[in-house]
Amino acid sequence: MSTSPANTSIPLRASASELPWETLRVNGERIFLRPVEVADADTHFECFTDEITRYMAPATPSLVNDCLVFIESSRASMAAGAEFVFAICAHGSDEFLGCTGLHSRISNTILELGIWIRGSAHGQHYGREAVHTLYHWAKERFEVEYFTYPVDRANTPSRKVAESLGGVVIEERKSPTQNGGELDSLVYRID
C-alpha cells in the first residue's frame, strides 16, 4: 500500500464521493476497516518502520508530521471519491493494526488493492482478512472490471494474500522506492 495517494487518481465512480465515507465502517470477522484519521498519526508513525517499508515504495517516515500529511491527503482523496484508505483495527480492542487501500490509479473500473500490517501483528493473517474484506466490499459497491495487487517478489506472505483471492501475475516490473531502493514487483490481477 502506498502511503502517498497518487496525484493522478481517477474517481472510482461519481457515487463514491457520495458515500458517507467519514463514518464508514467495513466489518470483517476479527477486524474492521474505517477511514484513516488524524488521531492515527502517532500510532501510524510508530508502526510504519523500516521493517514494514522494506517491500514498499514509500519511505519510512522520519517525523509524525509525515504521517499527518499522508492522512490529510488520503482524507481529501476519499472526499473526492478517488480512493479509500482505511485503518485496520481489531474488533474489541480497536487496536490499530495497519492500513489498507483501494485506489483508482489506472481507471475507475480497474482498482488497486494495497496493505501493510504492523510488525507485531504479522503472521496472524490480519492482512489477508483485511484485503478479503475490502475486496468483497468493493465488488458489491463498484463496477469493477478487475483489481490489481502489486507486491515485491520476495514478499511471500503478501503474494499469498493475492493468490488466496485467485490472483494471477499479469506484469513484472522494477519500481523505485522513496528509500532509494528498487522493488522487484509482481502485479497480480484479481477478478
C-beta separation of 28 from 129 below 8 A? yes
Reported as a pLDDT band with limits 50, 70 and 90, residue 17 is low
Nearest alpha-carbon partner for 90 in 124, 114, 67, 113? 124
Say whether pLDDT at 12 is over 70.
no
74-97, pLDDT tens digit by residue? 999 999 888 999 999 999 999 999
Domain ranges of the chain: 14-148
Task: Give the C-alpha separation, 134 to 86, whole Å.
Answer: 9
- Dist. CA 164–CA 99, nearest whole Å: 19
pTM: 0.89
Are the CB atoms for 115 and 102 separated by under 8 Å? no
What pLDDT score does 81 carry? 85
Q: Say whether domain 14-148 belongs to CATH 3.40.920.10.
A: no
